[in-house]
Amino acid sequence: MLTGKVIVVGVTGGIAAYKAVELVSRLRKQQAEVQVIMSRGATNFVTPLTFREISGNPVVVDMWDEPKSWNVEHIALALRADGFVIAPATANLIGKLANGLADDSLSTTLMATTAPVLLAPAMNSNMYQNPIVQQNIAKLTALGYRFLQPDCGMLACGVEGPGRLPEPERIVDAVIELLCPQLPLAGKKILVTAGGTREAIDPVRYIGNRSSGKMGYALAAAAASFGAEVVLVSGPVALDDPAGVRVIRVESAQEMMAAVLEEFPGSDITIKAAAVADYRPQTAAQHKIKKQAEQLTLVLEKNPDILAELGQRKQAGQLLIGFAAETQELLTHARGKLERKRLDMIVANDVSLPGAGFNSDTNIVKLLYANGHQEDLPQMDKQSLAIELLKRIIKLAEK
Ligand code: CTP
């Protein structure tokens, strides 16, 4: 499937660098032209000679080396490449890319390319789970870079956890998906909501919640990569707009309702991942409320249930997916919401579990379908979960 494609394999300095040798060999068996760029650190694990023999091409390491031929000079590679795969990708390379640093051949070439880039991180579990690394991954994902989730297991450093480079076969599959993308959602319009809402108390205060928006943003990005036209109605979040997605920013539940109702009629699939405030202050004070009495009572009134309203308006052929965040009796509450709001599927998560729900980078969910079927998914990062959810939604859409 990769016949004639120019694939640049970037190898950085991790113990898993040896697996990149098999990766290069497998890519060549798929008839790809493979060019290898190594970081200086990677050469401590595998010699450039090995990659030269396996790839059949000169290997680029040092930016200041005299190029072997002008055509393989690193900027030329940035232009010629159909795609990049970085395996293993160290925390250092990910950090440099996320911050626009270009201080060696690999990072310079990556900065200069417009080709799709797949990164396969491999490192110690604590490093991988470090919020700095996770933030860098989230930032790059929002910018359109693809990541392959590392495997869990015993790492070279003796620690058990996520951080192992996936087997080369899986990386090749991901490269094929990157370069020969399936666009199962081409021609479909998908409406996604994300983040929490803010309900004004006065000009400086609001009632909010802990939603980060990460799940909804990951879903919007994944739907766009599957070829859909995506509209994302987002509450205030600290995330960059996903590439190729139209973003409508709102604050309150009422603003979200107005935007969603406007976009809903032409949407084939609507996914409501937002954490909408159920209540809002009855009146938002015009001026800042001053500190006076010992107690202050806020009277709250009910917000509209956007999803329930969509359930009422849903036409044949429109799919409606909701989320249920619960801290107890997960399945009973989620099934109740699925039925009450006339949904096709609900993504239920117990937000009291570690590694699930609000503000976490991972999620653990159970899927409940309108036909009574239930499916439990393992803990996974929100990008991977978004893809798994969309695969199931695509199946529902085909029925
Ligand atoms: N939802 C909505 N509008 C609201 C409240 C919720 O559209 N005013 C949507 C959410 O986006 C989510 C689903 O309904 O997809 C379930 O939200 P959740 O907060 O779990 O449930 P509620 O219906 O608010 O019920 P409760 O607060 O009793 O758990």
Q: What is the pLDDT of residues 209-235, one digit of tens each?
A: 999 999 999 999 999 999 999 999 999
- pLDDT at site 62: 80
Number of H helices, E strands in the chain: 13, 21
pLDDT tops 90 at residue 74:
no
Domain ranges of the chain: 6-179, 189-279+295-398
When mean pLDDT is compared across 64-68, 81-85, 141-145, 181-185, the lowest value belongs to: 64-68
Q: How far is the CA of 235 from the centre of ligand 1 (A)?
A: 14
* Alpha carbons 382 and 220: distance in angstroms, whole number: 12
* 275 Cα to the center of ligand 1, angstroms: 7
**Ligand 1 atom 8: the closest Cα is on which residue?**
305
Segment holding 35, helix H or strand E: strand 33-38
Q: Quick: pLDDT tens for 135-163.
A: 999 999 989 999 999 998 877 777 788 89
Using the mean position of ligand 1's atoms as its centre, give its distance from the Cα of residue 323 in Å. 7
Q: Assign domain 189-279+295-398 to its CATH architecture.
A: 3-Layer(aba) Sandwich (3.40)
User: Ligand 1: which of 276, 314, 329, 339 to mutate, judged by most atoms within 8 Å of the beta carbon?
Assistant: 276
| Nearest alpha carbon, ligand 1 atom 17 | 324
CB environment 133-153: b (16+ within 10 A), e (fewer): bbebbbbbbbeebbbbbbeee
Q: Where are the alpha helices (DSSP H) in 181-291?
A: 214-225, 253-263
End-to-end CA distance of the chain: 29
CA-nearest of 146, 216, 190, 193 to 393 is: 190
Answer whether 305 contacts ligand 1 (Cβ < 6 A): yes
State yes or no: pLDDT of 73 exceeds 60. Answer: yes
pLDDT at 67: 61
What is the rounded CA–CA span in Å between residue 216 and residue 101? 29
- Measured between alpha carbons, how far is 323 from 73 in angstroms, rounded to an integer? 50
Helix (H, G, I), strand (E, B) or coil at 109: helix
CA distances from 94 to 8, 37, 91, 275, 328 (A): 16, 15, 5, 30, 38
Which residue's alpha carbon is nearest to atom 20 within ligand 1? 324
Residue 71, pLDDT > 60, answer no
Q: Is the CB of 310 under 6 A from ligand 1?
A: no
Protein residue whose Cα sits closest to atom 12 of ligand 1: 323
Assess whether the C-beta atom of 216 lies below 6 angstroms from ligand 1: no
Tens of pLDDT, residue by residue over 362-397, are: 889 999 999 999 999 998 989 889 999 999 999 999
Whether 280 is in the pocket of ligand 1, judged by its Cβ within 6 Å, is: no
Does the fold of domain 189-279+295-398 match that of domain 6-179? yes
What is the set of active-site residues?
Answer: 157
Helices marked H in 71-167? 74-80, 91-98, 105-112, 125-129, 131-142
Burial group, residue 302, by CB count within 10 angstroms (0-12, 13-18, 19+): exposed
Superfamily in which the 6-179 domain is placed by CATH: Flavin prenyltransferase-like (3.40.50.1950)
